[in-house]
Amino acid sequence: MNKVYCIGELLIDFVAEKQGSDLSKATNFTKKAGGAPANVACAISKLGGESFFIGCVGKDPFGTFLLTILEEHGVDISMAQRSSTFTTLAFVSLAEDGERDFVFSRGADKELQYNSEYRNKFKGNILHLGAATALLGGSLEDAYKHYFFDALSQGAFICFDPNFRGDLWKGKENLFIEKCLPYIEKSDLCKFSMEEAQLLSGKEDLNEACDFLHNVGAKVITITLGGDGTLLSTSKSKKNIPSIKVSPVDTTGAGDAFIGCLLQQISALADFKTIFNDESILTNMVLMANKAGAITTTNYGAIESLPNLNQLQH
């Protein structure tokens, strides 16, 4: 089993459940652990993989709570850092159909410092770059770039998920695209939502979007389509992989469960190149990852709702 290193934010989601998708009308919030890369790390570990979280939280009760959650889910937190800056917070309001409204209060996640002692850890392993906040500046963005370069120089398998958050990039969408393209260019696997694929490619048609993103450099592309499954695109073919039917209550973390499940399966391969050469194996992996994403939407809270192996096998 190869190791998967997930770099980015770990934060508190204050979730207003069943109060509509308008935060201005929400009155009651429940504290949940969140942050896309942390969700992915938990998904990998919960399915039997070996995951590491690289990120920063505050030296406060929220930070302690978050690191404890990761440890309880089997994630290695030895590379995590703590800062005197308060832990990053996100406020999430959920409608009955699982759709959501986000507001970020950014704190310690941006304080992550690059540690050159880790540069040799990536050889033969996987680096997942999936931070919603990593391209917003701060030392986190510098660390993100450094670890990306380290992983590239050691021939690691690189996965990129842009995790676009519209509220964070209003009026700066072109800067977001500009910052994402170098990661797409060098990634073995890219995971996009439909909105992200269209934004980053400038193409409305998803097949054309895939062609554009392959030309940038992405080897394997997955575009998650909610209940309609996933568009899987390689240099050889494009196909829609179906998902299972569920009644969603919270879509938060579904994409993270999907990519976490996919990465866990890839980490179990003796040779990562198998996914480039055997499309049947990759297709079956995406089928399983779709199932993981769907199951996650049937409960509240991203990490708590992540499936285990037993749930996926039934």
Bridging pattern class, strands 230-233 and 220-224: antiparallel
**Residue 16, number of CB atoms within 10 A of its CB:** 21
Lookup: tokens for 79:
């590379």
Residue 122 lies in a domain: yes
Residue 39 lies in a domain: yes
Give the total number of structural domains in the chain: 1
Residue 131 lies in a domain: yes
DSSP 46-71: HTT-EEEEE-EEESSHHHHHHHHHHH
Cα distance between residue 247 and residue 208, in whole Å: 31
Residue ranges making up the domain that contains 148: 5-9+35-81+112-313
Residue 104 lies in a domain: no
Residue 97 lies in a domain: no
Q: What is the pLDDT of residue 25?
A: 87
Higher-scoring residue by pLDDT: 161, 310: 161
DSSP 148-194: HHHHHHTT-EEEE-----GGGSTT-HHHHHHHHHHHHHH-SEEEEEH
Average pLDDT, the chain: 94
Mean pLDDT of 40-50: 97
Residue 90 lies in a domain: no
Residue type for position 89: L
The CA-atom distances, in angstroms, between 235 and each of 30, 109, 157, 187, 191 are 44, 36, 17, 14, 15
Q: For residue range 236-252, list pLDDT tens digits in order.
A: 999 999 999 999 887 87
Cα distance between residue 301 and residue 299, in whole Å: 7
Residue type for position 112: L
Q: Is 207 within 8 Å of 238 (Cβ atoms)?
A: yes
Of the ranges 28-37, 78-87, 98-107, which one carries the lowest mean pLDDT score? 98-107
Q: What is the pLDDT of residue 192?
A: 98
Whole-model pTM: value is: 0.94
pLDDT band at residue 204 under the 50/70/90 scheme: very high
Q: What is the pLDDT of residue 98?
A: 61
Q: Is the pLDDT of residue 217 over 80?
A: yes
Residue 188 lies in a domain: yes
Q: What is the pLDDT of residue 104?
A: 84
What are the DSSP E strand ranges found in the chain?
3-7, 11-16, 30-34, 50-54, 56-58, 81-83, 89-94, 100-105, 126-129, 157-160, 189-193, 220-224, 230-233, 238-241
Residue 240 lies in a domain: yes
Higher-scoring residue by pLDDT: 304, 98: 304
Residue from 181, 173, 121 nearest 146 by CA: 121
Q: Is the pLDDT of residue 178 over 90?
A: yes
CATH number (domain holding residue 202): 3.40.1190.20
